[in-house]
Amino acid sequence: MILALDTATPATVVGVADKDGTLRAERRHDPEPGEKPGHTRQLLPLAQEALDAAGARWQDVTRIGAGVGPGTFTGIRIGVATARALAQGLDAETVAISTLRALTLNVPEGGAHTLGILDARRGEAFVAAWDEDGTAILEPSAWRPERLAEVPSLAPGPWRAVGDGAVRFRAELEAASVTVAPDDAALHRVAAGPLCRLAAEAEPTGRDALVPEYVRAPDAEPRKVRRLRPTAQP
């Protein structure tokens, strides 16, 4: 069985699938407006619920896929650390999943290039793009909103965008003729089906090689220690 999880966005998402990626069960927690993400509290209970719904046990898990971002720094760390710990305890192989790629797989393939975009805060967006055949056009990057006008120049043809960043920067995207679904469309959320599909297709990586894809420096930098000058001796 495959266990796939993603905590790179405020949502906590877990899926259980057969070895070929066929989804058996999904569980998720989406925080209410103003509520903090519940990754630490929700991740393992949701995984247990998904396994129960799929009629599986922890011992049946042979592969664990973790969303490595980009996204929220704390969220990614929680998901990756949990995946590594579970893999060690279950002797399961691990695979890295691009959160942005999972987002774009919410959209039916063909007919347009797809931009996965997440609100990166600090006035930036995490972006990555794939063409209508699934070939990468743009690797995960951090862009200022004004750069979104460059999206059509990445490849000729129609474009569409998904993710909470597509909602946040709708005006900039639509000004560049990029199609964005209604704000409440489910395709703007990371879903278990695409996570499990990617987990089934990905090449396994060693546990120690399963690391977050931050794209940019963390939001919180370590505080610098203030050096005190020695007091003058009398």
| Closest C-alpha to 197, from 22, 6, 27, 12 | 22
Same domain, 71 and 153: no
Beta strands in the chain (DSSP E): 2-6, 12-17, 23-29, 63-67, 93-97, 113-121, 124-130, 136-143, 159-162, 178-180
Structure tokens at 25: 């069960």
Which residue type is seen at 155? A
pLDDT by residue, tens only, the chain of 234 residues: 999 999 999 999 999 999 999 999 999 999 999 999 999 999 999 999 999 999 999 999 999 999 999 999 999 999 999 999 999 999 999 999 999 999 999 998 778 999 999 999 989 999 999 999 999 999 999 999 999 999 999 999 999 999 999 999 999 999 999 999 999 999 999 999 999 999 999 999 999 999 999 998 765 443 333 333 444 444
Global confidence as pTM: 0.90
CATH of the domain at 147: 3.30.420.40
Structure tokens at 48: 């247990």
Encode pLDDT of 98-125 as tens digits: 999 999 999 987 789 999 999 999 899 9
What is the domain extent for residue 76?
A: 2-99+190-209
| Euclidean distance between CA atoms 188 and 167, whole angstroms | 8
Same domain, 123 and 11: no
Same domain, 175 and 199: no
Structural element, H or E, at residue 177: none
183 belongs to a structural domain: yes
The total number of structural domains that make up the chain: 2
195 belongs to a structural domain: yes
DSSP-based three-state secondary structure for 29: strand
